[in-house]
Chains A and B, each alone.
Chain A
Amino acid sequence: MSDTNIEKKGYAFSKEGMNRLKEMMKDYPSSDALLLPALYIAQEEFGHLDTEALQYVADVLKVPKSKVYGVATYYTMYKTKPTGKHLIQVCTNLSCSLLGADHIVKYLENKLTIKVGETTPDKKFTLITVECLGSCGTAPMMQVNDTYYENLTEKEIDRILEELK
């Protein structure tokens, strides 16, 4: 997390984002509770959470940057590195694995010609594996950004990727 090579981006929440945060302040007896929601807003608006974005959130909430960094890196849904436009998250926990999650991952790797953890050169797709998403009765499944796709087959994946392109 060195700042030296990072071009200063001058992050700031949009007016709407700032209003959302201010609205939420009324919901909690302590503004500390706003850290997770604020990181979500930052991620939505800045794409991912680099050092500068974390510093900005720390400044807005008046909490130490170390705390913001600790929280942002603790939870899996905060992205501290850039990802493609579509973040493909394949569940590989037990129920999905029993029904071929491995095969789904391999099929996606071949189809996108990237490995798990990588992003396609056109920055459209990032492929990662995740733990149980609560879709065990409709396994195998994947989540693309916020959307669940369940009962996956090769044909279904072809269709989904075509739709997302």
Chain B
Amino acid sequence: MVALYQGRRRSRAPTWYFNMNNILLKNINKPNSTDIETYLKGGGYKSLEKALKEYTPKDVIDIVQKSGLRGRGGAGFPTGKKWEFAAADKNTPRYLLCNADEGEPGTYKDRPIIEKDPHQLIEGIIISGYAIGAAACYIYIRGEYAYGADVLRRAIAQAYKKGFLGKKILGKKFDFDLYVHKGAGAYVCGEETALIESLEGKRGQSRIKPPFPVNVGVWNKPTVINNVETLANISHIINNGPDWFKTMGPEKCPGPKIYSISGHVNKPGNYELIMGTPLKDLIYKYGGGIRNGRNLKAVIPGGASTPVLKPEQIDVNMDYESVGAVGSMLGSGAVMVMDETVCMVGVARRLLKFFAHESCGKCSPCREGTHWLVQILDRIVSNEGKIEDIDLMLDICDNMRGKTFCPLGDGAINPVLSTIKHFKDEYLIHIEEKRCPVGYRHSEHCL
């Protein structure tokens, strides 16, 4: 139990976190953990040295491919594969973008890495940049993480001073620059093409794919976009080898994973465990069970855009394949826990209001669909819904699924579809009996 944030983060109560693996969060408790000297004392930047001196860029890509590392931002795309595509494109300069636009509701796993161990991220970035032959990397950090952006800027300046960034890094023919670019408040900029648009100084609206960013990315150059947690893994893979990495968790997606647990649990927090930790353990063993001795009603396993699971579905391992098999998604690994006092129609409405607010407005299925869903959910929660509204919502969702430029639209329908699937009785009580199923009307629990 340790309070994670100091300085401009003012938190009176402790933030819980478990450091089971001692990999990604191993430095978080050290005094002056953001200082480069602390990081160097703990063996920091050794893997950068190893990568540059012992391996060619292609070797590094092969090692990462062999490790089986998959992107931790939510989509789970094999990291080495992405690098290979970009490195194969002859167009130069290539760019690396670090996606630090952590915005998926429920997710706060990148924050401890950014705020408490920036050099781990920076080292991973430099090695990745070397592998793909990038000229520079931009860390696109959400504007609200002003504190984290300051920590990163200080750390980057230190890394330049030590010669880990800039010209002829460690005496090698390798020049690489690293910058911090602040977003300004738009969830959709976590989507890679919207992030690119935003970095280019435009409204952050997603582009249609293909072409994919690995070929036509920022300033129309080959671009790799990796999540903070993904890049934090790189130095450990180089240090310990791909076989070591593969010993952790399931064969198809090995490695450590930081799970963010929030909602009605006794000990919410960031837990570094291995990929494939059972969801039940996250809630009861690590999360300390449900608050006030209440019963579990529902769990969102991977952030707001992943489908809700029922209590009988929590016997599932938290990895991409296993969560997919029970009809949801691992997403960012952000577990949101809800107890029996929560109205699930209210939850769907709350999340849809978020998606409607964040829809970039470029493509009509998402722009119109999210707003219509909010209006219908509003009237159901106000007990003015009609029985046809359920079919109407299913129809709207059907017209959004797979028909939007980016995954925001696909994600937005999940809270609606999964609550209708698992908690249809609650919709019917709101519509037919004109009351909230958990006994509240317009209370905070209808959200």
Contacts and interface: CB of A to CB of B under 8 A. Distances in A.
Q: Do A and B come from one complex?
A: yes
Interface in B123-169: 142-147
A156 B16 CA distance: 20
B304 A94 contact: yes
Given A36-B201, A137-B270, A75 B184 contact: yes
A77 B103 contact: no
B201 A138 contact: no
Contacts of B342: 98
B261 A137 contact: yes
Nearest to B142: A134
A13 B406 CA distance: 37
A93 B447 CA distance: 9
A143 B107 contact: no
A69 B93 CA distance: 31
B233 interface: no
Contacts of A136: 105-108, 260, 262-263, 268, 334, 336
A134 B199 contact: no
B203 interface: yes
Instruction: Say which size band chain B's interface belongs to.
Output: 35 or more
Nearest to A33: B201
Contacts of B12: 150-151, 156
A102 B444 contact: yes
Given A32-B200, A94-B347, A98-B338, A150 B143 contact: no
B367 interface: no
B103 A40 contact: no
B354 A139 contact: no
Interface string A83-116: 0000000001111011110110000000000000
A75 to B, nearest CB: 4
A71 B9 contact: no
Contact of B201 (A34, A77, A92, A147): A34
B358 interface: yes
B264 interface: yes
Contacts of A36: 181-184, 198, 201
B5 interface: yes
A95 B423 CA distance: 19
Given A33-B201, A77-B184, A150-B9, A98 B145 contact: no
Contact of A27 (B179, B262, B338): B179
A146 B8 contact: yes
B204 A74 contact: yes
A75 B186 contact: yes
A39 interface: yes
B222 to A, nearest CB: 14
User: Most chain-A CB neighbours within 10 Å: which of B336, B354, B444?
Assistant: B444
Interface string B296-330: 00001000100000000000000000000000000
Contacts of A99: 263-264
Contacts of A71: 201-203
Interface string B280-309: 000000000000000000001000100000
A30 B220 CA distance: 12
A78 interface: yes
B106 A132 contact: yes
Interface in A4-55: 27, 29-30, 32-37, 39-40
Contacts of A80: none
Contact of A138 (B11, B187, B203): B11
B103 A137 contact: no
A39 B199 CA distance: 13
B144 A95 contact: no
Given A75-B143, A75-B184, A148-B5, A70 B108 contact: no
A135 interface: yes
17 contacts: A27-B179, A30-B201, A37-B181, A67-B202, A76-B185, A94-B300, A98-B336, A100-B444, A131-B105, A132-B107, A134-B145, A136-B262, A137-B268, A137-B270, A138-B11, A139-B262, A151-B13
In order of increasing CB-CB distance, the 6 nearest A-B pairs are A76-B185, A75-B184, A35-B201, A136-B262, A77-B185, A102-B444
Interface of A: 27, 29-30, 32-37, 39-40, 67, 70-71, 74-78, 92-95, 97-100, 102-103, 131-139, 143, 146-151, 156
Given A30-B200, A136-B108, 6 more contacts: A27-B177, A36-B183, A67-B202, A76-B185, A94-B300, A136-B106
